[in-house]
């Protein structure tokens, strides 16, 4: 998985290459797009990453990011 993700960066070319799509990763690894999402989710969890750059709001899975402020309490 990591080798396919890093391929555009180590193969040369443009200084800021476009990362591969889920479909491209799935095709290269001969797995489903769902399996790619699951593996990426585990990598994000393992390394404590979120998809947001500001650290506020939910990450790409809808979970609160590590830097997000706590949710306000529910009104009674």
Q: 11-15, 46-50, 66-70: which has the highest mean pLDDT?
A: 46-50
Q: What is the mean pLDDT of the chain?
A: 74
Domain count, the chain: 1
In sequence order, what DSSP letters do the residues of 1-61 get, joined into one string?
-HHHHHHHHHS-SSSSPPPPPHHHHHHHHTS-HHHHHHHHHHHHHHHT--S-SSS-SB-TT
CA distance 14 to 73: 47
Would you say residue 31 lies in a domain? Answer: yes
Would you say residue 57 lies in a domain? Answer: no
Q: Once rounded to an integer, what is the mean pLDDT over residues 22-47?
A: 90
Q: Once rounded to an integer, what is the mean pLDDT over residues 21-43?
A: 91
Question: Residue 27's pLDDT is what?
Answer: 93
Each residue's pLDDT tens digit, 49-75: 876 555 555 555 555 555 555 556 666
The domain in which residue 32 lies consists of: 2-8+19-47
Would you say residue 72 lies in a domain? Answer: no
Would you say residue 37 lies in a domain? Answer: yes
Q: Once rounded to an integer, what is the mean pLDDT over residues 16-37?
A: 88
């Amino acid at each position: 998985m990591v080798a396919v993700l890093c391929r555009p960066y180590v193969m040369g070319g443009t200084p800021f290459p476009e990362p591969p799509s889920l479909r491209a990763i799935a095709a290269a690894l001969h797995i489903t797009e769902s399996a790619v999402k699951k593996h990426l989710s585990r990598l994000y969890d393992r390394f404590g990453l979120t998809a947001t750059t500001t650290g506020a709001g939910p990450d790409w899975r809808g979970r609160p990011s590590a830097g997000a402020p706590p949710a306000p309490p529910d009104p009674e």
